[in-house]
Amino acid sequence: MIELESLSAHFGNAAALRDANLQIRRGDRLGIVGESGSGKTMLALCLMGMAPDSAHLTGRLSIDGRDMATATERDWRQMRSRRVAMVFQEPMAALNPLRRVGDTVMEPMLLHENLSRAEARARALSLFEEVGILNPEQRLRQFPHEMSGGQRQRVLIALALACNPALLIADEPTTALDANVALRITDLLQRLARERDMALVFISHDLAAVARATQEIVVMYGGDMVERGPTAEVLATPQHPYTKGLLGARPDPAEAGRDANGKRRRLPTIPGSVPPLHGLPQGCRFAGRCPVELAHCADQRPVFTPTEPGRGAACHLLSETGHD
């Protein structure tokens, strides 16, 4: 349904996304994880045809067999909302403050599907019920400032579902929310994808949320897809040093931050931070921060090495030890 083949996005000489390969089919639930600046939002924007004008795209991006990498804004408008839809990070700011939320949710239906106002209203009502908004009749008439963050995120999900998209992209949908609200939104997205047989791309740096919502996972760093595979397996036995670092940097509530002797323990972190785009090494993007770096890592780009069917990572250690 949606296929990316070595899709790259360059700003001048700097690559925000390098050779992304991806296949998304109906019903897939795919998690994309990585730190800020890893290219995951760039990837999502590419799938919406909303990469910034200054980004130069190369490679192939096809939706329903149509090549969209070079498509015009007009072509993309036909895709958005009807084939691909997106929920953004910041529910407090993502709704037009001067419009009743009902009007916002009905707008794409009226425009794309020529529904009458009454039909659109009926569908908005049932969408509100589907995404778990209580008193939907009354909520339709409210303004965003009259709602909480969790409710607004539900409204945004209803808006994304307005024209029955085949793929829903959720870019950090829970980052701005309270922990328990975040959990419910995660479960909602997962349930919607299953019930509607819709593909879900769930972008997050919250590994627990990704584990809950998705079947497959792609780990990104510095614009590269460094590891991928079934979510449970990747999280249980990470193969790329970056994924290992990412998993190590999670607070473990069971240990409550203390080691075996009951001493306070520092949360392990990945040393350093993601360098700016133009400062990334040309070889493996993780070189320089990698604990097991080899001499040629910074200059030579590791190829993606499958380790099992549907699983693999792009790391020199893997290609040299097991698969030479």
Q: Which residues bind another protein (CB under 8 A)?
A: 48, 50, 73, 77-82, 85-86, 88, 90, 93-99, 107-108, 111-112, 143, 145, 156, 159-160, 162-163
Angle at 54 between CA 153 and CA 204, to 5 degrees: 30
Q: How many residues does the chain have?
A: 324
Q: How far is the CB of 96 from another protein (least distance, A)?
A: 5
Q: How far is the CB of 144 from another protein (least distance, A)?
A: 8
Closer CB to another protein, residue 22 or residue 170? 170
Closer CB to another protein, residue 84 or residue 220? 84
Angle at 114 between CA 110 and CA 115, to 5 degrees: 70
Closer CB to another protein, residue 143 or residue 304? 143
Q: How far is the CB of 201 from another protein (least distance, A)?
A: 14
Closer CB to another protein, residue 54 or residue 180? 54
Q: What percentage of the chain's residues is helix, strand, coil (to nearest 5)?
A: 35, 25, 45
CA dihedral sign of residues 155, 160, 164, 168: negative
Closer CB to another protein, residue 159 or residue 200? 159
Q: How far apart are CA 55 and CA 14, in angstroms?
A: 10
Q: How far is the CB of 130 from another protein (least distance, A)?
A: 18
Q: How far is the CB of 292 from another protein (least distance, A)?
A: 39
- Sequence-separated (6 or more) residues with CB below 8 Å from residue 249: 267, 268, 269, 270
